[in-house]
Structures are given as structure tokens and as C-alpha cells.
Structure 1
Amino acid sequence: MAKQPDGLVSIKDFVRWGASRFNAEGLFFGHGADNAIDEAAQLVLSALHLQPDLPATFQDCRLTEAERGTVVELIERRLTERLPAAYLTGCAWFAGLEFAVDSHVLVPRSPIAEVIETGFHPWIAPEVIGRVLDLCTGSGCIGIAAAVWLPDAEVDLVDVSPEALSVARQNVERHGVGDRVRVLESDLFDGLHGNHYDVIVSNPPYVSRSELESLPLEYHREPRLGLLGGDDGLDLVVRILGEADRFLTDEGVLIVEVGSSAETLERRLPEVPFTWLELERGGDGVFILTREQLVESQPLVEEVLGL
């Protein structure tokens, strides 16, 4: 067990100490928190089995010796193993909901959360959404959040990774949506023939090979399968564009996050009328296309695919 520092007794003492250690070591923050204080608070509160919204009046509460040991061990693991905090705590928050995570899934952080919380308005009327597909679901956070925010919708969670789908099933059970949410193993649309959706939403692998190699160590603790999108990051994105129209209802929409590969996508498909979402809470590289736009764009996408 790591040696406990002298003079630290309260919750805020350990948050300050952890943040100072993180800054001194130059850790990267980008998997839920964007600064050392929030990251340290996440780990300290998790070690104490307390929620993130702990009232400020409790920050001066003193830790027992056993609690101090647990907190210090968690802080030291974050420093030495460079694991994202969510893998150390086993949970992450997305769209106001808590999800179980492990190293088989990406840490939930997609800006699509903001779109889900509006019920996909104004891009499609929430009341007409009957079926939603979460493609490349990972932990299931996008699709499950959609099921929670749209209580009348049925949702399919699809991924190629059995290990990721195991985590998704845990989260379906956690949120009590098993009567409306299916968990399906499929390579994109391969196993979905005959299904049609009002909304297809996806956060697929979209990181290019060169970008992935340059990312901070914390990203390399996440599953490569969930990040790497081929040489230019767009292998799966272009496949989705080439097939999604056949799985959408007439008024359906496709929403996809491509992050830093947005400029590359526009260069490859300059005539496709992507609408890039402007999100109040930040986050770039999320586009939306209607089924009609996808149908009209098929010759362009097929040319890129070499069909």
C-alpha cells in the first residue's frame, strides 16, 4: 500500500493533494474531467462511496485511516498506470446518467449527449421517434440515454465486440430499460436486415492511425477497436454513410460523431450536404443527414467506396 502523506485529514485536503500530484506529473485530462481538481474529486469521492454532488458542507469531513489508505492508493494508481479515472472507479456519467465502464469500452464523453437530452429536437420531433439504433454502442451509453430521455422509444444497441456488449447489458439492467432495449452483436448493419429506425446515432471509431499514435497515454488504455478508424479514420464512417439509408424510415435521420476527422470527411465527400451541429456545451465534429440526403448522396459515397 502507498505511503500516506502527513497532514491530510479532510476530503478537500485529499482533493487538493491529488490535484497537485496530477499537475506536477503532467497528467492528461479528457475522459470526463478537463482539469486536475475535478479529476481528483472524482477519485476521492468514489473511494468514499459518495456522489459527485456532495454538498460543500461535507468537504471538511475527516477521513478514517482506512479511507485515507483507499484514497491514496487510487490517486497513486492514476499517476503510475495512467488509466482514465473512469476505469479506476468503474463508472462514468453521460447525459445525466451513471454508467458502468471497464477497459473493454471507451469512456463515455460524446457531445451527442446534449442532442439526446433534447429528444433529438429540432432535427426530428421527439413524439414521432419509435425506434432508435445506437451503432458502435460500446458501453451502451448513447442508446440507453436515448431510451431514458425518450420513454416510449425502442432502442437497439449494436457492436461487434462481445466484451463491449457485456458491459452494455450491465447498463441496460442498471437503468431498468430491458423491456425496450435490445443488445445485438453485429458488424455495423450486417445483422440488422429488415429493421428500420427513426434515428440512427453513432459514435464509431474515427481516429486516424497517425493521430492515434500521437495521443496521450490515457487514450492507449482504451480499446484500440473503439478508436482506430483506419489510415484516415473514416473506414467505418464511409461504410455507415453507404448503408444507413436502407435502415432509416422515410423521415429518419442519421447522427454521427467524427470528431477530429471532420475536415478529412469533407475533403473526401465535398458534395455531401453535412449539417454540422453547434452544441452549447462544446464538442465538434457531429453531423446530421436526413434519409433523403443520404439517398441523393449514394453515388458519391459509392464512388469513394469503389462500388
Structure 2
Amino acid sequence: MRVKDLLLKPSRVSQRDKQLLLAHLLKVKPPELYLRMDEGVSESIVKLYEAGLEKLKEGYPLQYLLGEWDFYGRAFKLVEGVLIPRPETELLVEKTLGLLEKTRDYVGLEIGVGSGCIAITLLLEREGVFMYGTDINPKALEVSQLNAEIHGVAHRLRLFQGKDFEPVKDMKFDFIVSNPPYIPEGYWEKLPQGVKLEGRESLIGGEKGWEFYERFSESVEKHLRNGGFFALEIGHDQGDVIKEIFKNFRIEIFKDYSGQDRVVIGWKY
């Protein structure tokens, strides 16, 4: 069977996902498939491809099937139970980088590192940054460590298991970032099965959804150095709640490219 036959075979899976899956199995970049349309594909690859399509039809995330996903132009390894990087989160990175001078040294913290894509991207974009990261999920810490090693920044990242600030309770930082769980508990059963594979603790923020921000607002000041800042991803409909929670801080809320509230940045007076 040829590359062309596999890609043109009717399927409920999108053409984009079919291309990404086949390119992954053939160990080529997706655009290269168009140069190989008439090339034959081994029976073993065909079987893997067809099995992958079946899983995708059932709602299994392509990101887990590939074992990696792109974020800010780089590939990050992934496993089930670890939050999948999303394009909206790149805004959090962009806004954070905008506040980090290229010629200065900083010590930062990420709460809930997940795959490590945020912390590692900051390290790659700013050579003067050293990061600490916390997560309650040991699987996430393993993946973060692996990604840090792959991208050559493991010597500038220290990881700890624990909730929120607990593993770094006596430390202060120049900046703190987080993409915390912010979906209300009541939405869990409505989520697609594929999304649920990312893990309840990665997605559900509590009964209201904004419990993390309440805890964070009570502790962040003692963990920020003077002039320091925090940058957090928020739910698209949480802007007003966030303003109330952080009413004792100077904050700014930024909208994503869909015009929805997505990032809050606050400064220590």
C-alpha cells in the first residue's frame, strides 16, 4: 500500500490527524509525505496506522498517540495523565517573556509544571533564567525532567513534588507562573473521554473552579521579591472573579486571540 492510498482512504479522522499520525510512524515531517505519495509502506506500519486511526475514532487524543506535541515551536514528550499543551497557553509564555529582560538573571517558579513546556520554553528563550517547578503528579515531574534533558536545560530546572508553594515554602522568586486547573467540578462528567485522560487533578480546580487563585492570592506575596510579578492562565469566563480575588494587587488581564480572558499578570508593590 502506498502513502497516497493511506491518506486518501475515507475515514472519520480528519486529514490533518491522518497526516500527523502517518508522518510520525514513518519518522518524517508531515510536509515530506507529499514527496512520498507513491512510495510503498510496510505492512507493519500499515497495521500501526490503522490501529491508530481506530483509537482516534474512539476519541483517544492524537497527542498521546504520538507521544509528543508542539508548544512554542518545539516538541515536548507526553504521556497519559499529563496536561496536553494548548495554543492558548503560549500567550502566558509570551506575556511572561515580555517582562523578562534578556540581559538580566532571574529565579522563577512554575506551579503545576505538567509536561514542563512553560518552564522549559522560558529557559530556552532567556539564558539568564533559573527555574523551580512543583507538581503533585509524579508522572508530570518525570516527563518534565525528560523534556528538560531533551532540550538541554535540565541544569537550570529543579523539580519538587507537592501542592502549590508547599515544596518551596521558604523561598522567594523574581516571578511565578502557572497554568493551574480551573474547570469547575460540575463540568467533569461533561468533558470528552479523551480530555479526561489528562487527569482530574490537571483540569478540575474545585467546586467553583477558581480555588487555586484564592489559595495563590493568600500566599504569593511572601514568595515574591520586591518588584516581582506573577503570570497565570485563567478560564475564559473568570476575568471578573479574578479581579475580585486579586483586588489587593496591581493586575492586568489579557485576552487571547479569540477575544476571551486568558492571562492575568500581577505585581508586588
Q: Please, what TM-score do these two structures have when normalized by structure 1? A: 0.78
**For residue 2 of structure 2, what is the aligned residue in structure 1?**
9
| SS of structure 2 residue aligned to 1:138 | coil
Mapped to 2, the partners of 1:60 and 1:129 lie a distance apart of: 52
* Greater alpha carbon shift after TM alignment, 36-45 vs 177-186: 36-45
RMSD, aligned CA: 2.5
Mapped to 2, the partners of 1:162 and 1:93 lie a distance apart of: 22
Mapped to 2, the partners of 1:53 and 1:115 lie a distance apart of: 29
Aligned length: 268
The answer for unaligned runs of 5 or more in structure 2 is none
Mapped to 2, the partners of 1:129 and 1:135 lie a distance apart of: 20
Matched to 2:71, the amino acid is F
Deviation at 1:177, TM superposition (A): 1.0
Mapped to 2, the partners of 1:189 and 1:51 lie a distance apart of: 40
Deviations 1:98-124 (A, max 9, x none): 111111211111523245357621x44
**For residue 165 of structure 1, what is the aligned residue in structure 2?**
141
**For residue 199 of structure 1, what is the aligned residue in structure 2?**
175
Matched-pair contact (CA < 8 Å) for 1:111–1:282: no
Mapped to 2, the partners of 1:291 and 1:163 lie a distance apart of: 33
1:68-87 matches, cutoff 5 A: 68-80=46-58, 82-87=59-64
Matched to 1:222, the amino acid is E
Q: Say if 2:42 is the partner of 1:64.
A: yes
Change (3 A) 1:41 1:257: same
Matched-pair contact (CA < 8 Å) for 1:199–1:252: yes
Matched-pair contact (CA < 8 Å) for 1:139–1:164: yes
Mapped to 2, the partners of 1:62 and 1:264 lie a distance apart of: 57
Deviation at 1:259, TM superposition (A): 2.0
Deviation at 1:290, TM superposition (A): 0.9
Q: Say if 2:28 is the partner of 1:50.
A: yes
Change (3 A) 1:235 1:21: same
| SS of structure 1 residue aligned to 2:238 | helix
**For residue 21 of structure 1, what is the aligned residue in structure 2?**
12
Deviation at 1:13, TM superposition (A): 4.2
| SS of structure 1 residue aligned to 2:205 | coil
1:1-307 matches, cutoff 5 A: 9-10=2-3, 12-17=4-9, 20-22=11-13, 36-54=14-32, 56-80=34-58, 82-109=59-86, 111-117=88-94, 120-121=97-98, 123-263=99-239, 265-266=241-242, 269=245, 271=247, 274-280=251-257, 284-292=261-269
Change (3 A) 1:14 1:282: farther
Mapped to 2, the partners of 1:114 and 1:54 lie a distance apart of: 30
Matched-pair contact (CA < 8 Å) for 2:129–2:156: yes
Identical-residue share of aligned pairs (%): 25
Change (3 A) 1:282 1:198: farther
| SS of structure 1 residue aligned to 2:70 | strand
Matched to 1:21, the amino acid is R
Matched-pair contact (CA < 8 Å) for 1:47–1:74: no
Mapped to 1, the partners of 2:246 and 2:151 lie a distance apart of: 41
Matched to 2:61, the amino acid is P
Deviations 1:245-302 (A, max 9, x none): 211121211111122351462475384654222445877421111122xxxxxxxxxx
The answer for unaligned runs of 5 or more in structure 1 is 1-7, 23-35, 293-307
Mapped to 2, the partners of 1:290 and 1:191 lie a distance apart of: 22
Mapped to 1, the partners of 2:52 and 2:245 lie a distance apart of: 46
Matched to 1:14, the amino acid is L
Mapped to 1, the partners of 2:36 and 2:94 lie a distance apart of: 30
The structure that is strand-richer by fraction is 2
Q: Please, what TM-score do these two structures have when normalized by structure 2? A: 0.88
Mapped to 2, the partners of 1:282 and 1:218 lie a distance apart of: 26
Matched-pair contact (CA < 8 Å) for 1:206–1:227: yes
Matched to 1:244, the amino acid is V
